[in-house]
Amino acid sequence: MSRWRVLFLVAVLGALGALLLGFTNFAAAVHGLKAPDPPPKAQAIVALTGGSLERLRTGVRLLEGGYGQRLLITGVNPAATDKDIALALAVDAQRFDCCVDLGRSASDTIGNAAETAAWAHAHEFRDIILVTEDYHMARSLIELRLALPQAHFTAYPVASRLGRPEVWQGDPRLAARLGAEYLKLLAIQAREGLIGADGRGASSP
């Protein structure tokens, strides 16, 4: 084997080792995420759709508990009516009408961030509780802080199966989902690193 092939193989193995170590640290961080108890009080609550319905139910519970003035559910399927959502979440009609906003323009996390930023600007909210599942929290916080750098976000993670090593380690499909989330997080970090190096973006805290 030539010297260059050996060097290439060493580089590939090193990169794979770094990737595996990074994934291990990411999985451990997800496992360690816990919702603050008691929940913090804020001006507003944002719940991201996707994953389990528990994200939205948690947002509603926080609203009903008085931990925020309004709740935005971002990324709602355009085909779902207000009545559909209210029934699915068992929200009191009066509370739903007064204090729950549905965003239907977002189709991914970047869209959630843009939708949240527009809503927060409209209501002049700067202190926001972010509700999403534990494995999705790191990426969501990056995108929302970039879209709304003047706001303070408090993470309120919802426990998921991907946050439990004893579950995903025994299920290749769940392990692949967690790995895919890690790669998406790496892609965002690389994107922001390139933007920062190019001198075009460092407005995020």
Is 17 among the domain residues? no
Is 86 among the domain residues? yes
Q: With a cut of 50, which residues of the chain have pLDDT below it? A: 200-205
Is 197 among the domain residues? no
Q: What is the pLDDT of residue 35?
A: 95
- Residue-range definition of the domain harbouring residue 153: 26-161
Angle, helices 54-64/82-89, rounded to nearest 10 degrees: 80
Rounded to two decimals, the pTM is: 0.86
Residue 59: how many CB atoms within 10 A of its CB? 27
Instruction: Give CA–CA dist 157/76, Å, rounded.
Output: 19
CATH of the domain at 60: 3.40.50.620
Is 13 among the domain residues? no
Average per-residue pLDDT in the chain? 91
Is 64 among the domain residues? yes
Summarised one tens digit per residue, pLDDT across range 70-79 is 999 999 999 9
Is 201 among the domain residues? no
DSSP 41: P
**Count of domains in the chain?**
1
Asked if residues 150 and 117 have their Cβ atoms less than 8 Å apart, the reply is no
Summarised one tens digit per residue, pLDDT across range 71-115 is 999 999 999 999 999 999 999 888 999 999 999 999 999 999 999
Is 116 among the domain residues? yes
Tokens of 75: 């990324």
Structure-token match 């990324």, residue found: 75
Burial of 190 (0-12, 13-18, 19+ CB in 10 A): exposed
Is 147 among the domain residues? yes
